[in-house]
Amino acid sequence: MMKTTGCLLLLALITNQVNAQETRTFIRLNQPSKDNNAVTAPRQFLVGSTCKGCTLTINDSTAVVYPTGAFALPVNLREGTNTYRLKTINTDGKTAERNISFTYSLPEKPQPVTTFSIASVETFPEGNLMVQPGDIIRFRVKAMPGGVARVGETLLYEMPQAPIPGIYQGTYTVKPNDPLITGTGLRVTLKKDAQETNRVTNAIFSMAPSGPLVIKTTGDMPYLEFGLGDDRLGGARMQVLDTAVLLNVSGKIGNEYRVQLAKNLTAYIPAGQTAIMPAGTFPPSSLTSSWRVWGDDKYDYVSIGLAAKLPYRSIQQINPGRIVLDIFGATANTNWITQLQNVKEIKNAYYEQVSDDIFRVTIDLVHQQHWGYKIYYNGTNLVVRVKRQPPTPSLRGLTITVDAGHGGSNPGAMGPTGVYEKELTLLIARELQNQLVDEGVKVIMTRMTDSYVDNTYRILNNRERDPDLLVSIHLNSAGNPLDVQGTSTFYKHIGFRPLSTAIYKRMLELGLKEYGNVGNFNFALNVPTEYPNVLVETLFLSNPSDEMLVLDPDFRKQMAARIVLGLKDFMAAAVK
């Protein structure tokens, strides 16, 4: 009863906020957040809310106000200061006004260097580097045009197609016993007409140890990244590893170790997820020994004998369903694979040595649909635990995690009326919980109140409680509040896509605009392979029309019902 009461209090709070707004005349803006704004784009938006039923004008022209009181007004700026007077009036004649200004200026054009100097030096990759012979460091230098720029003896070339003269580029290859790599910055020189000047990089460059540098993974969820690319979700993840996995370091870029998985394959791992092994530790390698394939009352297992905890990477394949696992640094010495008859989901398990340092394990599944798997070490034996298909296509008896996105100090997006994503995701999640319970589902909720729950904790809690499926509820947001709207679902692993497409198709039945079914998504709760999972971005909270829909309790029920139908469709198609 306490949990239900908490949800009702949240609903009452949102309702009271809306009702309170109806009793007074006001203008509340969340885009822009300031009254005076310097911008470099000619199209801007005024997004916010006013009292329900009020009339809103912008510079005396009537503007559209949604029944919720929300508005989203595009403005096209001319150079200089543009001032907009917003005025609202209610049925009693009471008014409120607010002035917003945008100072629009074109982005400054880059200017060439006019004095004999080096204005800037950029290096790629960026940041402090620990390098080894053969590594390439790229340089881009802005300096006075017409000179000769060098790093050591390496010439940098002035680029004729650059936006301005005086942009020099080139690559420097690290040499054995390189005299320039001394734990300091690298010096760039510029010569012209018997003059010479120089500038030292901000980044520091040091040589990797001549002997092996081995690290091991630490913490609950260490992960490898493909490269140094980054966005708001972090770098593209290659694989979550077990703890104490050994990795051979070939360099360091900022706070990321570059690790050599195989002769022609490197990856990156945050230094904070590792510990340095004692000097003299052998680089990770092992012969493989015998395998065992067996089952218990819930899972099938493949256990591969190794002498050390080696790094690995797994992918899901479909049509037919299989798990492909590459073990780096392993060499085949497996002369028998013992397979017991109590397996139910593993059809075949076999291997090939695809290169000297990549040992590939293939696990053919009985069914097309992937139901999840976990990779971990038992001692130095690498184990793949494969989840079995549910016994029936019914939702009844399943355990499903319903994740209400954001919460507490992480509010998520804000709608034009001022409602936060965290409030609405909880209401939708609670409605989905109620409908799933009616279907006979055991529901795990990641949060029940307006509380902050770290994503890592959410993942670890699910790992411990082992759900059959996970549905994460969010609302999307965009800088353009008028033209971007609709529903979407997201997945990372191809074997879990059917779950996301089943829900997506049902959500579109509500007449929502199509934003897309998005794959390879790097969202934390899409990363686990232990169970099929989906992120449902129900609507765009930034869009006034979508916000109006999600503020309606009846529409939230309809969305939850469509998610349930999508889950049923998925089960009916997947359980064969």
pLDDT tens-digit series, residues 366-375: 999 999 999 9
Q: What is the CATH architecture assignment of 118-207?
A: Sandwich (2.60)
- Average pLDDT on 348-365 reads 98
Evaluate whether the domain defined by 286-387 bears CATH number 2.60.40.3500: yes
- Per residue in 257-302, pLDDT (tens digit) is 999 999 999 999 999 999 999 999 999 999 999 999 999 999 999 9
What rounded mean pLDDT belongs to the chain? 95
What are 395's two structure tokens? 């939702």
CB 114 within 8 A of CB 90: no
Q: How high is the pLDDT of residue 232?
A: 84
- Per residue in 13-69, pLDDT (tens digit) is 555 554 544 558 999 999 999 999 999 999 999 999 999 999 999 999 999 999 999
Superfamily for domain range 213-276? SH3 Domains (2.30.30.40)
- Per residue in 200-241, pLDDT (tens digit) is 999 999 999 988 999 999 999 999 999 998 888 889 999 999
Q: How high is the pLDDT of residue 11?
A: 58
Q: How high is the pLDDT of residue 2?
A: 41
CATH for 24-104?
2.60.40.10
Long-range CB contacts (within 8 A, 24+) of 426-430: 426/7, 426/10, 426/450, 427/7, 427/10, 427/11, 427/14, 427/553, 427/556, 428/404, 428/473, 428/538, 428/550, 428/556, 428/559, 428/560, 429/402, 429/403, 429/404, 429/473, 430/7, 430/404
Q: What is the CATH architecture assignment of 399-574?
A: 3-Layer(aba) Sandwich (3.40)
Is the pLDDT assigned to residue 363 strictly greater than 50?
yes
DSSP 502-565: HHHHHHHTTTPPEEEEE-S---GGG---SS-EEEEEEEETTSHHHHHHHTSHHHHHHHHHHHHH
- Average pLDDT on 491-496 reads 98
Identical topology for domains 24-104 and 399-574: no
Q: Where are the domains of the chain?
A: 24-104, 118-207, 213-276, 286-387, 399-574
Q: How high is the pLDDT of residue 3?
A: 46
- Per residue in 533-563, pLDDT (tens digit) is 999 999 999 999 999 999 999 999 999 999 9
pTM, two decimals, is: 0.93
- Per residue in 385-402, pLDDT (tens digit) is 999 999 999 999 999 999
Q: How high is the pLDDT of residue 470?
A: 98
Is the pLDDT assigned to residue 4 strictly greater than 90?
no
CB 21 within 8 A of CB 67: no
